[in-house]
Amino acid sequence: MDGPAESGRPRAPAPWRESFAARLGIAAEGVPHVVIPLAAAAFAILFGFDWLTIVMLAIAFAIAMFFRDPERTPARSGEVILSAADGRVCDIGEGTPPGLPAGRFRRVSVFMSPLDAHINRAPVGGEVEQVVHTPGAFRAAYHDLASEHNERNLVVIRDAAGRRHPLVQVAGYLARRIVCRVRVGDRVFAGGRIGLIMFGSRLDHFLPIEYRLTVAAGDRVRAGETVIGELMQ
């Protein structure tokens, strides 16, 4: 499920972009952002502007680090829910995802700073049941109401047991683009890439109520590896 998209409508990237991204170890969406300062650095070298070359290379490196796309191995298998984002747990509670009928879910919100990897991954394996993009504001993503008022993208995955696992990609103050690589009917595996949010943002996990949380506010988590919930026996 690695073809990029906006608003839940996947589009396959050009082959050259995928190849270049693989060489750099970054997401394909980051290629244009890295190529521009690299091109500027090349022109600076041609005209002897050493200081500008250093600046442009530093910018290209910083952007490449933001779009880095590391391989991840799920920490364990079984009836668990993995974090869908890298970052710090900024809020824990209960609630219903915006746009879904009332229901009880445990909510785990993860704030992604610009220094975190921003690839989002499926928290469980299953079938994508719903993808809904909602325009909105671009407030600071760590605020409690960001998932209700900010630009956001809802993805609902139904696992093999029929349980629904909603997650909400939330754009923040700096994030102006949400990328969703899946659409309704797609099959995903736990830890598989499903999208990203550019330049600082938040992801809200909504765990079925029968799962107990294994993280607390302030914990650091890694997408596709950190277990944030376990099915209660």
One-letter amino acid at 185 equals: G
Q: Would you tell me how many other CB atoms lie within 10 Å of the CB of residue 45?
A: 14
Q: Would you tell me how many other CB atoms lie within 10 Å of the CB of residue 40?
A: 18
Q: Which of 83, 109, 147, 201 is catalytic?
A: 201
DSSP state of 86: S
**Degrees (nearest 5) of the Cα angle 192, 197, 203?**
75
Q: How far apart are CA 28 and CA 4, in angstroms?
A: 8
Q: What are phi and psi of 8, to 5 degrees?
A: 80, 15
Q: How far apart are CA 130 and CA 167, in angstroms?
A: 10
SS3 category, 147: helix
The region, left, alpha or beta by phi > 0 then psi within -120 to 50, assigned to residue 28 is alpha
Burial class (CB within 10 angstroms; exposed 0-12, middle 13-18, buried 19+) of 95: middle
Q: Is 77 a catalytic residue?
A: no
Q: Among all residues, which ones are annotated catalytic? A: 201
